[in-house]
Amino acid sequence: MKRRFPQPRDLAPLTKFKKPTLNAKKRRLQSALTIYDLREIAKRRTPKVAFDYTDGAAEAEVSLTRARQAFEDIQFNPAILRDVSTVNTGWNVLGTPVSLPFGIAPTGFTRMMQSEGEIAGASAAGAAGIPFSLSTLGTVSIEDVAATNPEGRNWFQLYMWKDRERSMALVDRAAKAGFETLIVTVDVPVSGARLRDIRNGMTIPPSLSPKTIFNAAMRPAWWFNFLTTEPLTFAALDRWAGPVSELLDTMFDPTVTFEDLAWIKKQWPGKLVVKGVQNLNDARKLADTGVDAIVLSNHGGRQLDRAPIPFHLLPEVVREVGRATEIFLDTGIMSGADIVASIALGARFTLIGRAYLYGLMAGGREGVDRAIAILESQIVRTMKLLGVNSLEELQPEHVTQLQRLVRLQPLK
């Protein structure tokens, strides 16, 4: 091999350094290429009690693990030699256009994770052209979300309380504030056993102990923001002092039935979505009641551990009731590929909860923007690699579900 001394002109292209990003937040978010990257940033910047509330699930957290495994255990089946120079990632959901096939799920105690809370989520959703859902346990008022996202699609999530009059007062406020859709969550007769929260001694407001003070002291930006912004309050509660599990059990009504849901439907002027459906029979009953959409969900694994996997239920439910009712999906979504697979198997829409909150904890509004941008880029890339130009072109044959859990045949 003949060798020579390198010439200056040869070295010049190799010595072009990337211009440094001086803004620490921007630099941090630019380094995140996946939702899992945002999760790692969020974990470093958020006290354990708040991070674990977001990240954790019920009991042994099997439901959440299985939901994520279900998305990992798929095979995409691409078509080749298709013109995919342009891709359309939007279509109509509940009769109105969305720019992307996902929206922000309702999440509770959001300003505890990061002080911008629902304001960051609602404004980012509005800018991206996707719906934002405010939880009954949200930490910004119904009216403030409406003011933050006046031209966007605002949805309100309802937990039916034992105090029915108070529950319906919230529904009335949401209607008056222009919220277009009501999401009724139906998988909470009692609170799930979220053991991370119990072990962390999570209370509202957050309780101070030597352990929590030390953990928060290692994250001064979170602590500073928490102390210098408005005290943690709730969209729908006056006040509470005590463990979160006790708060939830005082609220949730274990007597709610399909008759109650029909009664709620009569009170609400907009679209009605029911969240927490986990079997085909319940999906059929809901379709018969005339709800506009159902969400296949096991509450992010936060209620019944070892619950059914929503992604596995999707094809059967779509086949049975998908013509009459739009089918949404949540639980376990951590990438745009997960969303594409859901749409291919018949979901009309998906909801992201943790993925949004990881972005929020990583960088406030800019972090939520980054989470949405990551998912959007993954959706576009996956669609192009599959050889499709639009969501309408995604079909079940694009996805093969590989299942590591196989049901045992009953003994005869």
Active site residues: 299
CB atoms under 10 Å from CB of 41, counted, come to 20
CB atoms under 10 Å from CB of 102, counted, come to 32
CA 346/CA 265 separation, integer angstroms: 25
CA 98/CA 129 separation, integer angstroms: 6
Closest by CA position to 159, among listed 183, 131, 194:
183
SS3 category, 155: strand
Closest by CA position to 35, among listed 329, 334, 331, 330:
334
Cis peptide bond prior to 189, omega within 30° of 0: no
CB 134 within 8 A of CB 155: yes
Closest by CA position to 61, among listed 403, 365, 301:
301
SS3 category, 63: helix
CA 241/CA 276 separation, integer angstroms: 28
Where does residue 50 rank: exposed (0-12), middle (13-18), buried (19+ CB within 10 A)? buried
